[in-house]
């Protein structure tokens, strides 16, 4: 999953970012693709990553929505816990944590919810003194950290799920390759959606539950990944 792909396109502006492919995969009906992007603005270099995924359920949207709207139900197997049910939070905020308590400052706004159709989320720009960044340990740089769209579309009794996620930051000190190198977490993002989140959501929709053995396995795997991340983010010499 190289950030220095040979093929790029775009003009490197806000309206035409310079894109490069991060991944493009299909597993049965699940399709996942990711891109890295960069562009220059009046302040510095903006760098980011996008993820698109889609899959299909042989169920109407009314059967998918009760599980889909509550992200903790299908993400807690990877130690992702939400402070509220997204589908019930239009106009409100939430936070994600690796334990279902001790919520830090909420950093996600739920802009719109249309039941059985769509949830739109954005992350407001953090203050310079907050120390929050999608490219830690580098500062966020005064740009919106992310936007996410979670959508269901029903056709003939089947439901197509589409999810789009984007994260970005701005830098005045890193070059293009260094800036994109801060998205080293992309392989884990791909893994958790492919192996954990979508399979767990399908288990809930079709079977009504996620087996404890599945949760135990992936919680252990996430703990290992968390240890790797902590080591990467710890300054050398500490």
Nearest CA-CA partner of 71 in 188, 197, 194: 197
Q: Say what the pLDDT of residue 233 is.
A: 54
Residue 231 burial (CB count, 10 A): 8
Average model confidence (pLDDT) across the chain: 92
pLDDT one-digit tens code per residue, 182-231: 998 888 889 999 999 999 999 999 999 999 999 999 999 998 887 766 66
Is the previous residue joined to 182 through a cis bond, with omega within 30 degrees of 0?
A: no
Q: Say what the pLDDT of residue 238 is.
A: 45
Residue 155 pLDDT exceeds 50: yes
CATH of 27-233, one of 3.40.50.720, 3.40.50.880, 3.30.530.20, 3.40.50.1000: 3.30.530.20
Q: What is the mean pLDDT of residues 66-71?
A: 98
Domain ranges of the chain: 27-233
Report how far apart, in Å, the C-alpha atoms of 223 and of each of 77, 78, 98, 104, 218 are: 11, 9, 10, 19, 8
Q: What is the mean pLDDT of residues 19-38?
A: 95
Q: Say what the pLDDT of residue 229 is.
A: 65
Q: Say what the pLDDT of residue 186 is.
A: 87
């Amino acid at each position: 999953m190289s950030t220095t792909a040979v093929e790029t396109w775009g003009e490197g502006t806000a309206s035409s970012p310079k894109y490069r492919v991060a991944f493009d995969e299909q597993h049965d009906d699940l399709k996942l693709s990711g891109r890295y992007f960069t562009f220059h603005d009046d302040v510095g270099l903006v760098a980011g990553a996008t993820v698109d995924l889609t899959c299909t359920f042989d169920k109407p949207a009314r059967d998918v929505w009760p599980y889909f709207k509550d992200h903790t139900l299908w993400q807690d197997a990877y130690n992702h816990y939400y402070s509220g049910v997204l589908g019930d939070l239009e106009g409100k905020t939430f936070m994600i944590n690796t334990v279902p308590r001790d919520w830090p400052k909420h950093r996600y706004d739920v802009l719109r919810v249309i039941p059985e159709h769509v949830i739109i989320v954005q992350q407001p720009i953090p203050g310079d003194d907050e120390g929050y960044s999608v490219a830690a340990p580098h500062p966020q740089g005064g740009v919106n950290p992310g936007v996410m769209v979670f959508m269901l579309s029903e056709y003939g009794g089947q439901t197509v799920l589409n999810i789009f996620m984007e994260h970005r930051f701005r830098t005045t000190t890193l070059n293009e390759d260094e800036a994109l190198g801060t998205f080293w977490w992309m392989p884990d993002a791909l893994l958790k959606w492919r192996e954990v989140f979508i399979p767990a959501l399908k288990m809930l929709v079709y079977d009504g539950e996620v087996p404890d053995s599945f949760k135990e396995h992936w919680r252990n795997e996430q703990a290992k990944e968390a240890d790797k991340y902590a080591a990467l983010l710890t300054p050398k010499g500490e």
